[in-house]
A = this chain, B = another copy of it.
Amino acid sequence: MSDFPKFVEFREEGPREGFQIEKKIHPIEERIELIDMLSETGLKRIQVGSFVNPQKVPQMADTAELFKRIKRVPGVRYTSLWLNDKGFRKALAAHQVDIDPRLLFYPSDTFSRKNNDASSIEMREKQREWVKLYKQEGHAVDTAYVMTAFGCNFEGPIPQQRVLDDFRFILDLCTEENIPLPILVVADTMGWGNPEAIKRMIGALRDMKPDARIGMHLHDTRGLGIANLYAALSMGVDMFESSVAGLGGCPFAGHGHARAAGNVCTEDAVFLCHELGIRTDIDLDKLIAAAVCAEKIIGSPLMGRVMHSGGLDKYRKAS
């Protein structure tokens, strides 16, 4: 039944996820240090920051400056987030941003309105425009996300069919626009997923489009992140977005979001992959060092586990 991939790609979101929710605006030097350490781990894609409204998210206001000052390692893509045309233009205008266009779909109408001032249906139509815009600028769509794919704090459980409808729309859109299919990302934005629900969802998505590449964006809100990731691995999912040290998820990091929770922890997930014999091309010890750096910057305990216990290789070598 298991269909583990041979290789898994991790896309690091800690530098954005971790600092956008901090009340404190950390000195740019601290974030540069963290990003530079992450660059040395073998991670091939690091989300540096986001081009969003600096009034709303002042923590990310220096993203353009960050891109100028990080030490680039060849082969690593340094990406950013944007949520509208204006943000995309800013990313294009900034220094050496690796552009990875995303499409965003919202099966929860309430969350869509809160996050984008637009209904689910309006967001769908906007994505059609975004595809044209990206094409015009010569960029292939990299990923297409269906958000809150398992449930939404505003609307409750999300029916699987509603999520599959969005993915169907994506497939049709790509056919119409004659563009390659992006990675289909199932996003558990609010931590509603469980391992069996994830297996059912991935299975249904594979039935719909067997040759699609599927990724997951998992939040560890309720402690099931790593079990959910394991379930996804067993269904052949080979791309995950994650945060070093579980950044963004620490309810105690002084940001006052007692109920916030970030992405699944990168180094714990990498450790799992290695233990299962799955390649990641990431150096776990270097990643742990980056996690320890993140904890030092935040100044309070982060939720990663392997960063505190260490991996197993040293014991294996000793024995």
The proximity string for A residues 115-137 relative to B, scoring 1 for CB distances below 8 Å and 0 otherwise, is 00000000000000000000000
- Nearest chain-B residue to A110 (Cβ)? B319
Are the CB atoms of B194 and A272 closer together than 8 Å?
yes
Kindly identify, within residues 183 to 204 of chain A, every residue whose CB is under 8 Å from any CB belonging to chain B.
Answer: 191-192, 194-197
A178 at the interface (CB under 8 A from B): no
Contacts of A12 in B (CB 8 A): none
Are the CB atoms of B271 and A223 closer together than 8 Å?
yes
A157 at the interface (CB under 8 A from B): yes
A276 at the interface (CB under 8 A from B): yes
Contacts of A66 in B (CB 8 A): none
Are the CB atoms of A194 and B275 closer together than 8 Å?
yes
Q: Name the one of B222, B223, B268 contacting A224, with C-beta atoms under 8 angstroms.
A: B268
Are the CB atoms of A315 and B153 closer together than 8 Å?
yes
Kindly identify, within residues 282 to 319 of chain A, every residue whose CB is under 8 Å from any CB belonging to chain B.
Answer: 300-301, 303-306, 308-312, 315-316, 318-319
A251 at the interface (CB under 8 A from B): yes
Bound CA–CA A12/B156 (angstroms) = 31
A146 at the interface (CB under 8 A from B): no
The proximity string for A residues 50-67 relative to B, scoring 1 for CB distances below 8 Å and 0 otherwise, is 000000000000000000
A248 at the interface (CB under 8 A from B): no
Contacts of A221 in B (CB 8 A): 305, 309
A155 at the interface (CB under 8 A from B): yes
Bound CA–CA A304/B227 (angstroms) = 15
Bound CA–CA A223/B261 (angstroms) = 16
Q: Name the one of B196, B230, B305, B315 contacting A220, with C-beta atoms under 8 angstroms.
A: B305
The proximity string for A residues 200-234 relative to B, scoring 1 for CB distances below 8 Å and 0 otherwise, is 00000000000000000000111110110111000
* Contacts beyond the supplied A194-B272, A194-B275, A226-B227: 8 A-B pairs with Cβ under 8 Å: A155-B319, A195-B230, A195-B272, A222-B311, A222-B312, A227-B230, A227-B272, A301-B301
The residues of A with any CB-CB pair to B shorter than 8 Å are 1, 151-153, 155-157, 191-192, 194-197, 220-224, 226-227, 229-231, 251-252, 258-259, 261, 265, 268, 271-272, 275-276, 300-301, 303-306, 308-312, 315-316, 318-319
Mind listing 13 A-B residue pairs with CB under 8 Å? A195-B276, A220-B305, A223-B226, A223-B304, A224-B226, A224-B275, A226-B227, A227-B229, A227-B230, A258-B308, A259-B308, A300-B301, A303-B303
